[in-house]
Chains A and B, each alone.
Chain A
Amino acid sequence: MKRREFWLLVTPSVIVMFGFMLVPLYRTVRWSFERVEYGSPGTSVGFGNYSAALGDARLGRAVLFTLGLTVVVTAFCLVFGYVLATLVNQLGRRLRPLVLGVMLISYVLPHVVGAVAYSWLFDSNFGGIVNFVANKLSGGAFGEPLWFTEAWPNRAIVAANAVWFMLPFAMLMILAGLQGVSSETLEAAEIDGAGPLQRHLYVIIPSIRGVLGFVLLIFTMDVLRIFDSLIALSPQAVGLGNESIMLYIYNVAFREGAVNLGLGSAISVLTILLILVLLYPSIRSLVKEAQAA
């Protein structure tokens, strides 16, 4: 490829990257050291926003809740995504696209729409079908859990919703990985006497380690940024300690009467650092794998 062609093709991406990533990032970092009001130039406050953020117990609670949710949802989606992908991989050619299509509906639905509909499953004002079915099956022993006003029931539905809309993606990625596993290797393992569980543990999973690492990376990033589904599912998030980092930033930076873009920006910068720290092992492992390949 000629140098001119190279720049012709690369320039639009560079412009987009610069405009949509670097400029906002620069602005965020700059604002994090300022007191900012919409439309007026910021005034420097040094590290004031950072000390305010780090001194706020709410940030600690938000980080703890978000990390807990990330671990639970990611672990669940990796395990069950693998199980589902294995099952779907065994389906015939005609049935597989249909099952995949149905499963992907929750993934392509806008999160906030999906979350509103999901909340209705637990809300007696809108039918509350979960309580109804559970009580029918248990003879009324299930009772009426306070899904929206008690911390743990609320955490359960937030996590369940995240799994509901993210599991199909994990399944799809892992399915793609499974289709690349060599059938000869599997046959050889079978001839050597490896049972189904051993084949999964010692042949298939090591073969798709790269895909699993990629899924882990994406899930860590996605769940750490969870926001819109909480609007519908956790209207009392602050009081229950179920406020995610992104919701905390939104509440600080944009809520009516308390617009504080400087503090919101400082928390955003801290969040970026946290995400980088958490993703470092995954990124390093992916880079190593790419170099080895």
Chain B
Amino acid sequence: MRLQRSSRLLAVALLATSLVGLTACGAGSRTGAETATKVACDFQNPAQATTVNVLAYNSSAVDPYSNTMVSSCTHDNVTVKHDPIDFAGQVQKTTATLAGDTGTYDVVETYSFVVPDLAKRGKLVPLDDLFAKYKGAYKLDDIDENLRKAMSYEGKLYGLPMQTQVLTMVYRKDLFDKNGLKPPTTFDELRTVSKKLQDSGDMKYPLALPWSASSDISTGYKATLNSLGKNFIADDGKTPNFTTPESTKALEEMKSLLPYMDPQATTFDQPKVQQQLYNGSAAIGIMFSGRMNDLVQQKNTKLYDKFAFAAPPSVEKGGKQYGALSVDGWSIPANTKVDHDLLFQLLGSSVSEDASKASIPAAYPARKGLDQSASPYAAAAEKAIAGAPPAEAKPWVPPITSATTDIIGSVILGKESVADGTKAMQAAAEKVMADQ
């Protein structure tokens, strides 16, 4: 009897603990808004209670901005809501919320890759008038003009830039110093450096690139192609460039790096590349800059003080870098029922000078003139931005990327020849362009 009672008590205690634990888990994981930086968010109080739903994926670079918006702009009659979501979830929810006459979200996080397509289809509100109205209040002119252009389509601004991510190179300074190596500035040097690291016995597979064959590999191909001076589509705006000599060279150059990469590299996305660097199983990585600050956190890796950063190499000497510039920003969906004026003030606060300062070093803010000395990778990112190929900000880029990703994967994996692959990519791109 006593045993039964104590068993029951134990069961009740376990259940209660689990429930409390789960509740705490839920509360704590919703957002980091409770601890976010508070900035001024002064808007004219709406007459009625207004809820603003924000769609933004969670990452160490985007979180400071979304959390600041939630913590600073929830007052009076306005409640800002932001639920945690991953990037893939954001992509799907963006498509769904922008689809009809009404949507679930009033503010969406967008990025330069998708803005032209969404803007062309009339899914986003042009922000130029609101930008002009509030540029004084939020010092919006300090936001880099090139980044504003990246969030524009046909001369109109559709996204207020918050931060930028650029492909940046990270390397193990200790191993480079030990072997007398310098950060590579071309693919040729990258191969030489990787070979030396292999030969020294320090690293079996020194190079780590996010080349997941089902997704990230298209970013790698585009960065290589852009570095060789070509875009997906020729300047005539019609002809795909996939059967050009540059496209063939891009794929061959990518394949030439495989001997220095993990044999399963085509399954590695950015978190896995980060993990390779944390573990010490890679010495050189090229990823978007938003991932860099994680590498120097002691809680993540015992190698936190061994990393250094540089701009990525170019494919050929004198060419543009193996680079990609992605600008993240806030957009207002065309189907939101909330007052656009009110929403823009929330966006302005979220990217204000104070909010942008607070996002360093997790993010590389879109604002110019901020003190970035606390950021270990800022100098490298700055060089990477300066040397990155100009972005092909066109509505056809997302569908072509999607249509060609599996083919690129197949070529890199050696299942398809470069010649066959480029022909297949050309055909896929022509099909996309026929629908444009």
Contacts and interface: CB of A to CB of B under 8 A. Distances in A.
A235 B96 contact: no
A236 B213 contact: yes
A101 to B, nearest CB: 12
Interface string B56-80: 0000000000000000000000000
A178 interface: no
A258 B402 contact: yes
Secondary structure of the A contact surface, majority rule:
loop
Nearest to A37: B99
Interface residues on B, range: 20 to 34
Nearest to B397: A257
B214 A146 contact: no
Interface stretch (B260-268, B309-317, B381-389): B260-268
B399 interface: yes
B398 A257 contact: yes
B266 A257 contact: no
B214 A148 contact: no
A20 interface: no
Contacts of A237: 214
A259 B114 CA distance: 14
A235 B402 contact: no
A255 B264 CA distance: 23
A239 B421 CA distance: 13
B399 A235 contact: no
Interface in B404-436: 406, 409-410, 413, 415
Interface string A238-268: 1100000000000000111111000000000
Given A148-B267, A237-B214, A254 B413 contact: no
Given A125-B276, A148-B267, A257-B398, A236 B98 contact: no
Interface string A137-167: 0000000101111000000000000000000
Interface in A197-241: 235-239
Contact of A239 (B264, B398, B402, B415): B415
A39 B99 contact: yes
Contacts of A254: 92, 95
B341 to A, nearest CB: 25
Interface centre among A40, A254, A255, A256, by most chain B C-beta atoms within 10 angstroms, is A256
Secondary structure of the B contact surface, majority rule:
helix
Contact of B214 (A125, A238, A259): A238
A6 interface: no
Given A238-B214, A258-B399, A258-B403, A149 B91 contact: no
Interface residues of A, number: 23
B279 interface: yes
B104 interface: no
B398 A256 contact: yes
Nearest to B121: A37
B99 A257 contact: no
Contacts of A147: 264
A239 B215 CA distance: 12
Contacts of B263: 144, 146, 149
A38 B96 CA distance: 7
A149 B401 contact: no
Interface in B77-104: 91-92, 95-96, 98-101
Interface in B367-399: 398-399
Nearest to A234: B267
Contacts of B92: 254
Contact of A39 (B98, B275, B281, B415): B98
B173 interface: no
Nearest to B263: A146
Contacts of A38: 95-96, 98-100
Interface centre among A40, A149, A239, by most chain B C-beta atoms within 10 angstroms, is A239
B336 interface: no
Contact of A235 (B267, B281, B400, B406): B267
Given A124-B281, A238-B406, A254-B92, 5 more contacts: A37-B99, A149-B413, A236-B266, A236-B409, A239-B413
Q: Which 3 A-B pairs have CB atoms at the shortest separation, nearest pair first?
A: A39-B99, A257-B402, A38-B99
Interface of A: 37-40, 124-126, 144, 146-149, 235-239, 254-259
26 contacts: A37-B99, A39-B99, A39-B100, A40-B99, A125-B279, A125-B281, A146-B264, A148-B267, A149-B263, A235-B214, A235-B267, A236-B266, A236-B267, A236-B409, A238-B213, A238-B409, A239-B213, A239-B413, A255-B402, A256-B401, A257-B401, A257-B403, A258-B399, A258-B402, A258-B403, A259-B95
